[in-house]
Structure 1
Amino acid sequence: MCSDSARRHQRCQEGACRRLWPSTSGGPCRRLTSAMRFGVYLPTFAWRDLRFDQAARVKEFARKAEALGFDALWVAEHFLEAPGLYGTVWMSPLLCLAHAASVTTRIRLATGLLIAPYYHPVPLAREIQTLWHLSEGRFVLGVGPGWDQHEFETLGMKLSERGRRTDEIIAALRRLLAERDVSFEGRYYRFQHVTIEPRLPRFPELWVGGGSKIQTSLSPDKPYIVPAVLSRIAGADGWLARAAGSQQMVKDDARVIREHCVKVGRDPGSLRCGHLNFLHLVDTTDREEALRLQRPVFERVMGTHRTFENLQQSYFLGTTREIVERIRDLEAAGVRDMVLATCDYDLGQLERFATDLVGRFTDS
Structure 2
Amino acid sequence: MRVSISMTNFTLPGGPPELRDYLTRIARVADESGIDTLWVPDHLLPADPMSAIDAPMLEACTTLGFLAAQTERVRLGTLVTAVHFRPPSVTVKAISTLDVLTGGRAWFGIGAGYQQDEALAMGLSLPSVSERFERLEETLRLARQMWAGDTSPFVGVHYRLEHPANSPNTLRRPHPPILVGGAGERRTLRLVARYADACNLFDIPDGGKTLRHKLAVLAEHCAETDRPYGDIDKTVTTALAPGESAAQFARRCADLAKLGAEHIVVITRNVPWTDEAVRIVAAGAADMPQP
Same fold (TM over 0.5): yes
Task: Write out aligned runs for 1:175-324 (5 A).
Answer: 175-200=145-170, 201-211=173-183, 225-235=184-194, 236-243=196-203, 246=206, 247-282=208-243, 323-324=249-250
Q: Work out whether residues 181 and 193 of structure 1, in 8 Å CA contact, stay in contact via their aligned partners in 2.
A: yes
- Amino acid of the structure 2 residue aligned with 1:276: T
1:197/1:151 Cα in 2 relative to 1: closer, same or farther (>3 Å)?
A: same
d(CA) in 2 for partners of 1:280, 1:333: 20
TM-score, L = length of structure 1: 0.69
2:287 counterpart of 1:360: yes
The superposition leaves residues 135-170 of structure 1 with CA deviations (integer Å, 9 ceiling, x where unpaired) of: 000101111111111334532332422222111111
The secondary structure found in structure 2 opposite 1:193 is coil
- Amino acid of the structure 1 residue aligned with 2:264: M
Which residue of the other structure, out of 272, 275, 281, is the alignment partner of 1:347? 275
d(CA) in 1 for partners of 2:178, 2:241: 29
2:117 counterpart of 1:158: no
2:87 counterpart of 1:128: no
- Amino acid of the structure 2 residue aligned with 1:360: D
The superposition leaves residues 308-340 of structure 1 with CA deviations (integer Å, 9 ceiling, x where unpaired) of: xxxxxxxxxxx7766544322220121100112
The superposition leaves residues 274-326 of structure 1 with CA deviations (integer Å, 9 ceiling, x where unpaired) of: 1111213417xxxxxxxxxxxxxxxxxxxxxxxxxxxxxxxxxxx77665443
Flag the structure with larger Rg: 1
The secondary structure found in structure 2 opposite 1:45 is coil
d(CA) in 1 for partners of 2:48, 2:64: 25
State the shift of 1:360 in Å.
Answer: 2.3
TM-score, L = length of structure 2: 0.85
Specify every segment of 5 or more residues in structure 2 that has no aligned partner in the other structure, as ranges: none
2:41 counterpart of 1:76: yes
- Amino acid of the structure 1 residue aligned with 2:179: W
Which residue of 2 is the match for residue 91 of structure 1? 58
- Amino acid of the structure 1 residue aligned with 2:124: L
State the shift of 1:111 in Å.
Answer: 1.6
1:361/1:325 Cα in 2 relative to 1: closer, same or farther (>3 Å)?
A: closer
Which residue of the other structure, out of 320, 332, 340, is the alignment partner of 2:258? 332
Q: Work out whether residues 5 and 266 of structure 2, in 8 Å CA contact, stay in contact via their aligned partners in 1.
A: yes
2:70 counterpart of 1:103: yes
State the shift of 1:109 in Å.
Answer: 1.1
Identity %: 24
Specify every segment of 5 or more residues in structure 1 that has no aligned partner in the other structure, as ranges: 1-35, 212-224, 284-318
List, as ranges, runs of 4+ consecutive aligned residues in structure 1 with deviation greater than 3 Å. 46-50, 85-89, 242-247, 319-326
1:280/1:169 Cα in 2 relative to 1: closer, same or farther (>3 Å)?
A: same
d(CA) in 2 for partners of 1:209, 1:340: 15
The superposition leaves residues 91-123 of structure 1 with CA deviations (integer Å, 9 ceiling, x where unpaired) of: 122221211111111111122112122110122
- Amino acid of the structure 2 residue aligned with 1:162: R
What is the root-mean-square deviation of aligned Cα atoms in Å? 2.6
State the shift of 1:207 in Å.
Answer: 0.8
Q: Work out whether residues 107 and 177 of structure 2, in 8 Å CA contact, stay in contact via their aligned partners in 1.
A: yes
Q: Work out whether residues 281 and 320 of structure 1, in 8 Å CA contact, stay in contact via their aligned partners in 2.
A: no
The secondary structure found in structure 2 opposite 1:139 is coil
State the shift of 1:133 in Å.
Answer: 0.7
State the shift of 1:226 in Å.
Answer: 3.2
